Structure 1
Amino acid sequence: MLVCKPRALITYNPVMSDKHSMDGDLDQRIWLTVCAIPAGKLSTYGDVAERAGLPGAARRVGAALRKLPEDSNVPWYRVVNASGKSSLPPGTHGADRQRAHLAAEGILLGAGGAAVLRRYRW
């Protein structure tokens, strides 16, 4: 069970095999790392992987974030690609939600959709 904020929980129910259990443990580690990103800051997939003890596993971070329940309170929107952009397709509901969350935290995105990582990187 993962507590990101006191009011909400995320649970992961590993399926039978050890591999799934290990994957669940990695997901939890990644989610906890993302929970630690302060409001108003960003982290790249690679940075999250590094902080979670999974150097070089940026794609694994993306896979873990895709598993989050829709009502999760893990601040997935604070994770961007190495260019400071959302990895979600522009104009999609997810990309629009990410942009709105970031704007609410004072993170400004340029016309090309990129944030200045020098300014906002955690």
Structure 2
Amino acid sequence: MKKEKEIQETSFFKEVYKLVKKVPKGKVTSYGRIAALLGKPRASRAVGYALNALSKTQEQKVPWQRVINSQGKISFRGDTGRSILQKKILEDEGVKFSVNETVDFHLYGWPNLILNSAPRKKRK
């Protein structure tokens, strides 16, 4: 059972990396948005685990810095160096932070949809 779960996690992690690579420079998305786009809307924490599991080599290929929390903030707890690095990389890509250290998803969100707002079907 454990082996099967490890295989599934590895497969999920690869899906996360493939999708995160599509986030363009100067844009951000959230852990929850990545999870939802992968068809697993309750797996936002697993998206975070996947990005945290990146090796130094993988970090050069997967733009991990473009994934932030649903409040528009950087989410590294206990690793201030990492959060400072993430903010610097994003700013270098043209992403602006507000006074309260948040990113406006209306301006910088990817895909170009406001989080948690899917078009509703009209009732007949």
The answer to whether residue 95 in structure 2 is matched with residue 107 in structure 1 is: yes
Q: Distance in 1 between matches of 2:102 and 2:11?
A: 31
Q: Which has the larger radius of gyration?
A: 2
Q: Distance in 2 between matches of 1:40 and 1:62?
A: 20
Q: Which residue does 1:39 correspond to in 2?
A: 25
Question: Percent identity at matched positions?
Answer: 31
> Which digits, 9 at most, give the CA deviation of each residue in 1:19-70, with x for residues without a partner?
1111100000011111111111110111000112211211111111110012
Q: Hey, which bits of structure 1, 4+ residues long, moved more than 6 A? A: none
Q: Which residue does 2:14 correspond to in 1?
A: 28
**CA spacing shift, 1:89–1:17, aligned 2, 3 Å:** closer
Q: Distance in 2 between matches of 1:32 and 1:45?
A: 14
Structure-2-length-normalised TM-score? 0.80
**CA spacing shift, 1:91–1:56, aligned 2, 3 Å:** closer
The CA RMSD measured in Å over matched residues stands at 1.6
State the aligned residue count: 107
The answer to whether residue 95 in structure 2 is matched with residue 84 in structure 1 is: no
**Structure with a larger share of its residues in strand:** 1
Query: Shift of residue 91 of structure 1?
Result: 7.2
Secondary structure of 1:20's match?
helix
Q: Which runs of 5+ in 2 are unaligned?
A: 111-124
Q: Which runs of 5+ in 1 are unaligned?
A: 1-15
**Structure with a larger share of its residues in helix:** 2
Q: Distance in 1 between matches of 2:100 and 2:34?
A: 23
Query: Shift of residue 119 of structure 1?
Result: 0.5
Q: Which residue does 2:45 correspond to in 1?
A: 59
Q: Distance in 1 between matches of 2:95 and 2:51?
A: 20
Q: Distance in 2 between matches of 1:91 and 1:18?
A: 31
Query: Shift of residue 88 of structure 1?
Result: 1.1
Structure-1-length-normalised TM-score? 0.81
The answer to whether residue 60 in structure 2 is matched with residue 69 in structure 1 is: no
